[in-house]
């Protein structure tokens, strides 16, 4: 066990080896900043793609947009890449940019506190290791803490209990009686392959969601050739960028995009579900766009299989071997699969982060997580969040928000280095004004019209950026020095 006295000091410590941590690592190297480590609690690289290895997992945006702009991937085999392909892409990037020696896997950070005199973050891990860093980058993202359903008897269930975000690759689903709780993006992906293996599958739906066709296809030799030509790869990426930005218009009432998306979703439902009663139960009760739209060609057909039942009666409790619903019905099961999403509101709550004057991030975020452009937090100098509050997107690839945030953080590091200061802290009044303006824009928006992981129980939308991607990119193009206090 190393003590604080012999702690190693790095320029930067990155927490989390998902897409944003990897992007930060690569860009640090590109900027000539080689003194960093990535601390990752899992046994492998991948972040959410490491955790979410459930059957059928794939990205829900076209793969050319789910690759770094600086590293197009000619190896995608289809437009909507699978989780294993994305992991392979990440491993390839880590090797190509020399990131592997910086990775510390199986390393769980428990606490970090900022020493203003030294201008250093002191970081401790579960194994007792201590590190110091000038800059602390938290890139764990909002989709890292699995949320189990708050339903009575969950602990009484004696069969196999799985959460989609902590999938047990050894789980055998063949010939089993299975319950899937949830019908969000994740459930829509895992229900079809589970239905193909299960003896009986009960899908428990609390809220029906909007489902659109997924324009998926295998990539052929021409696609792979184009992906190797930088200009062609950039054009394909730009095409999908524009298509998805157009989709953002669909979140605003009265737009042509919205009318087209509503018509497409209704036609998809009619085409794929012949039974009007089942179709009615799968018709969303909230406005399109309020939750993440599901793109799937096989979810509805899976629900019409003879061994699959859609249950819309609310679950009352679990017993040792069954699910009991509020209407008194009971279904015996061997396996319970919870596709119930993530705790997105309690960001970074599993570790104690202490900033200036002994104030913790938990205290600062008592009323919900807030940051400046989702990246810096007043009172926590030299801390940079990736995928921080209000930087999520409901319409496009999250990498389009990660890359500008990474550039912004590195620009801040360069400013400090050039000026010879120890730390920079965003002015509280600047952060407050920024968040008041954000929340004013979000008020009355489509995202306030249903319950989702974008919002807190209080109704505050803490996950999403309200505008188009270009607006975020422009806003964080360069840090405005007047927004910060330097020490
Ligand atoms: P989610 O969207 O939060 O969905 C959770 C589901 O569980 C919902 O259907 C929810 O019902 C249900 N649920 C939660 N608690 C419940 C309870 N106590 N009783 C009954 N039902 C309950 O989570 P997710 O599907 O894991 O997706 C989260 C996000 O991850 C997505 O929005 C997307 O951004 C991302 N994702 C991306 C991909 C990809 O790109 N490959 C794949 C999967 C997920 P209610 O709707 O009624 O709350």
Q: Is the pLDDT of residue 3 over 80?
A: no
How far is 369 from 461, CA to CA, in rounded Å?
A: 10
How far is 113 from 121, CA to CA, in rounded Å?
A: 6
154-209+291-338 and 8-145+343-486 share a CATH fold = yes
Q: Is 161 in the pocket of ligand 1 (CB under 6 A)?
A: no
Boundaries of every domain in the chain: 8-145+343-486, 154-209+291-338
**Cβ atoms within 10 Å of 425's Cβ, excluding its own:** 22
| Residue closest to 361 by CA, chosen among 111, 129, 143, 39 | 111
Q: What does the pLDDT average to over 162-188?
A: 95
Please, where are the H alpha helices in 323-464? 361-364, 399-419, 428-442
354 φ, ψ (degrees, to nearest 5): -115, 125
Q: Looking at the CA of residue 451, tell me the nearest atom of ligand 1.
A: 48
Please, where are the H alpha helices in 107-229? 185-197, 221-228
Q: Is 151 in the pocket of ligand 1 (CB under 6 A)?
A: yes
Fold of 8-145+343-486: FAD/NAD(P)-binding domain (3.50.50)
Residue with the smallest CA separation from ligand 1 atom 33 is 185
How far is 355 from 348, CA to CA, in rounded Å?
A: 14
Q: Is the pLDDT of residue 143 over 90?
A: no
pLDDT tens per residue across span 345-371 = 777 778 999 999 999 999 999 999 999
CATH of domain 154-209+291-338: 3.50.50.60
In the sheet that holds 315-318, the strands lie side by side as 315-318, 322-325, 330-332
Q: Could you tell me the distance, in angstroms and rounded to a whole number, from the CA of residue 163 to the centre of ligand 1?
A: 11
Residue 429 tokens, joined: 């009044």
pLDDT tens per residue across span 5-35 = 667 999 999 999 999 999 999 999 999 999 9
Q: Is 150 in the pocket of ligand 1 (CB under 6 A)?
A: yes
Residue with the smallest CA separation from ligand 1 atom 12 is 182
> Chain-centre distance of CA 9, in angstroms?
30
How far is 92 from 82, CA to CA, in rounded Å?
A: 15
Handedness of CA 388, 394, 395, 398 (dihedral sign): positive
Helices 399-419 and 19-30: angle between axes, nearest 10 degrees:
40
Please, where are the H alpha helices in 97-166? none
Identify which of 81, 206, 402 to mutate to test ligand 1's pocket (most ligand atoms within 8 A of the CB): 206
Q: What does the pLDDT average to over 360-385?
A: 96
Mean of pLDDT over the chain: 95
How far is 23 from 97, CA to CA, in rounded Å?
A: 10
Q: What does the pLDDT average to over 92-120?
A: 97
> Chain-centre distance of CA 54, in angstroms?
15
Distances (CA, A) of 243 to 64, 65, 132, 265, 443: 12, 11, 44, 17, 26
Q: Is the pLDDT of residue 404 over 80?
A: yes
Identify which of 79, 341, 392, 454 to mutate to test ligand 1's pocket (most ligand atoms within 8 A of the CB): 341
Residue 165 tokens, joined: 């975000």
Q: Looking at the CA of residue 341, tell me the nearest atom of ligand 1.
A: 23
User: What pLDDT is attached to residue 1?
Assistant: 45
User: What pLDDT is attached to residue 6?
Assistant: 64
Share of the chain above pLDDT 90, in %: 94
> Chain-centre distance of CA 84, in angstroms?
17
pLDDT tens per residue across span 208-237 = 999 999 999 999 999 999 999 999 999 999
Q: Is 206 in the pocket of ligand 1 (CB under 6 A)?
A: yes
Contact 463, 455 (CB under 8 A): yes
> Dmax over Cα atoms in the chain, in whole Å?
69
Residue 137 tokens, joined: 């980058």
pLDDT tens per residue across span 445-471 = 999 999 999 999 899 999 999 999 999
402 φ, ψ (degrees, to nearest 5): -65, -50
Contact 171, 194 (CB under 8 A): no
Q: Is the pLDDT of residue 374 over 70?
A: yes
Q: Is 183 in the pocket of ligand 1 (CB under 6 A)?
A: yes
Contact 337, 172 (CB under 8 A): no
CB neighbours of 475 closer than 8 A, spacing ≥ 6? 373
Q: Looking at the CA of residue 143, tell me the nearest atom of ligand 1.
A: 30
Q: Is 63 in the pocket of ligand 1 (CB under 6 A)?
A: no
Residue with the smallest CA separation from ligand 1 atom 2 is 184
CB neighbours of 200 closer than 8 A, spacing ≥ 6? 177, 178, 307, 309
Q: Is 453 in the pocket of ligand 1 (CB under 6 A)?
A: yes
CB neighbours of 287 closer than 8 A, spacing ≥ 6? 446, 449, 450
């Amino acid at each position: 066990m190393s003590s604080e006295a012999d702690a190693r000091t790095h320029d930067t410590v990155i927490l989390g080896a998902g897409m944003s941590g990897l992007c930060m690592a690569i860009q640090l190297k590109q900027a000539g900043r080689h003194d960093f480590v990535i601390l990752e609690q899992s046994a492998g690289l991948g972040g959410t793609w490491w955790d979410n290895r459930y059957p059928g997992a794939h990205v829900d945006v076209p793969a050319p947009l789910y690759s770094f702009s600086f590293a197009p991937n000619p190896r995608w085999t289809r437009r909507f890449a699978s989780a294993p392909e994305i992991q392979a892409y990440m491993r390839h990037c880590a090797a190509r940019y020399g990131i592997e020696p910086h990775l510390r896997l199986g390393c769980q950070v428990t606490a970090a506190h900022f020493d203003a005199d030294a201008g250093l973050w002191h970081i401790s891990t579960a194994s007792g290791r201590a590190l110091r860093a000038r800059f602390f980058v938290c890139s764990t993202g909002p989709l890292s803490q699995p949320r189990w359903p708050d339903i009575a008897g969950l602990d009484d269930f004696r069969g196999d209990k799985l959460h989609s975000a902590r999938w047990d690759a050894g789980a055998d689903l063949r010939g089993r009686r299975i319950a899937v709780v949830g019908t969000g993006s994740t459930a829509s992906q895992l229900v079809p392959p589970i239905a193909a293996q299960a003896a009986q599958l009960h899908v428990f739906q609390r809220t029906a969601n909007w489902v659109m066709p997924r324009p998926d296809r295998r990539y052929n030799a021409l696609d792979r050739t184009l992906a190797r030509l930088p200009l062609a790869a950039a054009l394909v990426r730009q095409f999908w960028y524009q298509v998805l930005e157009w989709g953002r218009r669909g979140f605003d009432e009265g737009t042509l995009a919205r009318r087209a998306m509503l018509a497409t979703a209704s036609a998809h439902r009619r085409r794929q579900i012949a039974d009007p009663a089942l179709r009615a139960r799968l018709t969303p009760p909230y406005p399109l766009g309020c939750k993440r739209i599901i793109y799937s060609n096989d979810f509805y057909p899976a629900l019409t299989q003879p061994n699959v039942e859609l249950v819309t009666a609310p679950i009352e409790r679990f017993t040792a071997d069954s699910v009991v619903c509020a209407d008194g019905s009971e279904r015996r099961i061997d396996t319970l699969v919870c596709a119930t999403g993530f705790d997105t509101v309690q960001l970074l709550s599993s570790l104690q982060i202490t900033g200036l004057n002994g104030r913790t991030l938990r205290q600062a975020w008592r009323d919900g997580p807030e940051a400046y452009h989702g990246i810096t937090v007043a009172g926590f100098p030299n801390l940079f969040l990736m995928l921080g509050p209000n930087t999520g997107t409901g319409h496009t690839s999250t990498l389009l928000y990660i890359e500008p945030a990474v550039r912004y953080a590195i620009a801040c590091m360069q400013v400090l280095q050039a000026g010879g200061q120890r730390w920079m802290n965003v002015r509280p009044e600047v952060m407050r004004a920024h968040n008041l303006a954000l929340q004013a824009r979000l008020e009355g928006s489509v995202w306030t019209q249903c319950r989702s992981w974008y919002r807190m129980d209080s109704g505050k939308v803490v996950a999403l950026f309200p505008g188009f991607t270009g607006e975020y990119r422009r806003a964080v193009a360069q840090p405005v020095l007047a927004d910060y206090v330097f020490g």
